[in-house]
Structure 1
Amino acid sequence: MRNPARRAALVDAAIEVLAREGARGLTFRAVDTEAGVPKGTASNYFANRDDLLNQVGRQIHERLGPDPAALAETMRTPPSTELVTRLLRELVDRLSEDRAGYLALLELRLEATRRPELRAALTTTIEANLRENIRFHLDSGLPGDRETVVLLYLAMTGVVIEHLTLPDVLSPFDLDTLITTLVTRTLPHPD
């Protein structure tokens, strides 16, 4: 039986390679080198490159997700516009801390435009993630409805892409102020 810890380390190494080198640079040899394991190790764990890409697609969302204990602590605050703002700031902080993870996700998305199987797998994962975000938002009693969550998701995707890929584009703006403005203008206002 293969070692699950080693498989996870290989997937994490693949994420780092994908972020740094792009999809074209993602080879078994590059993954072995990044993971610091003997040549041929990755090919023993993954049937082919598509298998590796699919494994990365599944693992990356777990890696980028919030720490359950930290999220539980944040959610002790009563539902409000301020809490939504805090959650989105924590999202940007978390993705900034794992910049390579998010860049790898962007590379996966691009690669999915050329690989139908990866597109299907990634679509399933991202749809499930969005559904979970909607469920969490609504179940937590946060202001706004399903469409509000989708609008925030779409806007924050743009913010994160600019922040992590071309930060100078947003440098004239204060990121915290942008997030606050986004939330206050998107969420419904009490009458």
Structure 2
Amino acid sequence: MAGNPERRAVLVDAGIAVLAREGARGLTFRAVDGEAGVPTGTASNYFTGRDDLLRQIDARLHVRLAPDPKVLEALLSERRDRALVTAFMRDLMDRAVRDRTGYLALFEMRLEATRRPELRASFTASVRGDLEQGMEFHRAAGLPGGDETVAVLYLAMLGLLLEHLTLPGVLDGALEGVTVPEGLVDRIVRTVVPEA
């Protein structure tokens, strides 16, 4: 396997773009090479197969979609209340809108995991790890609510992200006086998170 880490990163990001645009069936080494603008056959020098590429896409997505540490630091200087949770959820939505491709690839990974047991096991572990990390962050930050609050927030935000990034018009006007997605983020937090 080739060892150029910069080239590998370019290929993995190209894989993310292909996955988001074409779905898992379109994720071929040839398509990744084309997206990355490298000679045909390059990706096969960097990945042992599709499963290896998918595992590396999974790892890269967790880095790529993570919150900016500077934003977290600034937010954590605020009072630990429902408004702060709202700010965290707005940051999540903003990141999703900015990197729509990354989030669509993440959704495609979920679908592909239903068809590939080996991917299902590793992807389930990484997503579960993210959820547990979110619960630990919530507790350590002293935010209102507990693990159940985080789990319900996770499910509600996942649904909003899926809807907004894939079929953005569906929720327009569904709730009178609520803007999409900002107003829905506020409504979700107000409904799920107890007052401090």
TM-score (norm 2): 0.94
- Structure 1 residue 179 corresponds to structure 2 residue 190: no
The residue aligned with 1:63 is 64
> 1-side partners of 2:93 and 2:61: how far apart?
16
> 2-side partners of 1:75 and 1:118: how far apart?
35
> 1-side partners of 2:46 and 2:184: how far apart?
44
> 1-side partners of 2:103 and 2:56: how far apart?
15
SS at match of 1:168: coil
Structure 1: 5+ residue runs without aligned partners? none
The residue aligned with 2:86 is 85
Stretches (4+) displaced over 6 A = none
Structure 2: 5+ residue runs without aligned partners? none
Aligned residues of 2:163 and 2:170 also touching (Cα < 8 A): yes
Residues 94-118 of structure 1, C-alpha deviation per residue, up to 9 Å, x if partnerless? 0110000000011111011110111
Residues 21-69 of structure 1, C-alpha deviation per residue, up to 9 Å, x if partnerless? 1111100011011111111110000001111111111111111111111
Amino acid at match of 2:63: E
> 1-side partners of 2:194 and 2:65: how far apart?
28
Taking the TM superposition and a 5 Å limit, the aligned residue runs for 1:141-160 are 141-160=142-161
SS at match of 1:169: coil
Q: CA deviation at 1:189?
A: 3.5
Amino acid at match of 1:54: R
> 2-side partners of 1:161 and 1:84: how far apart?
20
The residue aligned with 1:42 is 43
Aligned residues of 2:82 and 2:195 also touching (Cα < 8 A): no
- Structure 1 residue 31 corresponds to structure 2 residue 32: yes
The residue aligned with 1:139 is 140
The residue aligned with 2:75 is 74
SS at match of 1:155: helix
Length, aligned pairs only: 190
> 2-side partners of 1:159 and 1:22: how far apart?
21
The residue aligned with 2:100 is 99
Amino acid at match of 1:71: L
> 1-side partners of 2:96 and 2:189: how far apart?
19
SS at match of 2:111: helix
> 2-side partners of 1:188 and 1:66: how far apart?
23
> 2-side partners of 1:92 and 1:18: how far apart?
21
> 1-side partners of 2:159 and 2:140: how far apart?
25
> 2-side partners of 1:185 and 1:111: how far apart?
32
Q: CA deviation at 1:177?
A: 1.9
> 2-side partners of 1:3 and 1:28: how far apart?
17
